[in-house]
Chains A and B, each alone.
Chain A
Amino acid sequence: EPEVTQTPSHQVTQMGQEVILRCVPISNHLYFYWYRQILGQKVEFLVSFYNNEISEKSEIFDDQFSVERPDGSNFTLKIRSTKLEDSAMYFCASSRTAGQPLYSNQPQHFGDGTRLSIL
């Protein structure tokens, strides 16, 4: 069964440095997402992406964050200047559709996550 793959599995970065987290969504999926999970807390939505643009973002997704689909397969999350509070598990997800047609319920498939540790 096709999977969402994320690299690296663990990233350690100095505070203030830029970090890029990479994801390869399932090949026929059209909608892409990033979520994060701070240790001991709930999974939180960051951003969704469709047709080469952001379709929705949360309050967490400020100017320090950006997403890109640089080619036909990768989907990246960049954090420009990392802070200590960015330490978390970051999950990429993809779905074939997001809810169309009416009542279409294509679930989001998640990757293994990247554990980001900011020192």
Chain B
Amino acid sequence: AQTVTQSQPEMSVQEAETVTLSCTYDTSESDYYLFWYKQPPSRQMILVIRQEAYKQQNATENRFSVNFQKAAKSFSLKISDSQLGDAAMYFCAYRSAPRYSGAGSYQLTFGKGTKLSVIP
């Protein structure tokens, strides 16, 4: 079974500064997907960024980027130029990549989350 660990229950960052949220995972699979979801106080979980394990290039989405270290099983999220609207719970999630229909697990396995506060 896969596990996802987020070792930072809470983080804070000054507005306009950069913050990195850490995530490690454990798996015996070689193909998988990794995600960061954001859950603001309004509750809806929003996809922030995703990474396919077979891609060596780190994913980026505007101010959000990841540092994907496959050998170390590490998947950290960097938020640049932090904004007040970035304040939320951030969840790291893992999903298998089945090779054919019906194989493997499509479920997301989540970490416990990191609560990010942005200080004006």
Contacts and interface: CB of A to CB of B under 8 A. Distances in A.
Nearest to B42: A112
* Range, interface on chain A: 20 to 34
A93 to B, nearest CB: 8
Interface stretch (A18-26, A66-74, A97-105): A97-105
A43 B45 CA distance: 11
* Range, interface on chain B: 20 to 34
Given A42-B111, A44-B110, A112 B43 contact: yes
Interface string A108-119: 111111000000
Contact of A103 (B52, B100, B108): B52
Interface of A: 3, 31, 33, 35, 41-45, 48, 55-56, 58, 89, 91, 93, 95, 98-100, 102-103, 105, 107-113
Interface of B: 31, 33, 35, 37, 42-47, 50, 52, 54, 91, 95-102, 104-113
